[in-house]
């Protein structure tokens, strides 16, 4: 059995098979059908793959500058 460290996906409320809320990070056996389904469906993510949401890039329009006069 190889346990992996996982966390609930952002915005997901995850419970154990007995109905208890899971902690922020916890270990699961990915061969267990309950946790395998949660991983496959994206309810939990491997901590190595957990990514904090990126801040959207601020795009500023390119403005044309008037040609320099000589």
| pLDDT band at residue 48 using 50, 70 and 90 as cut-offs | confident
Task: State pTM to two decimals.
Answer: 0.65
Q: Which residues of 6-33 are buried (b: 16+ CB within 10 A; e: fewer)?
A: bbbbeeeebeeeeeeebeeebebebeee
CA distance 64 to 44: 48
List the chain domain ranges: 4-46
What are 69's two structure tokens?
A: 């006069």
Q: What is the pLDDT of residues 7-33, one digit of tens each?
A: 999 999 999 999 999 999 999 999 999
């Amino acid at each position: 059995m190889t346990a992996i460290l996982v966390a609930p996906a952002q915005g997901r409320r995850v419970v154990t098979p007995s109905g208890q809320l899971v902690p922020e990070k916890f270990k699961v056996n990915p061969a267990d059908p309950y946790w395998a389904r949660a991983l496959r469906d994206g309810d939990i993510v491997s901590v190595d793959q957990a990514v904090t949401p990126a801040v959207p890039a601020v795009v500023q329009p390119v403005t044309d500058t008037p040609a320099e006069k000589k």
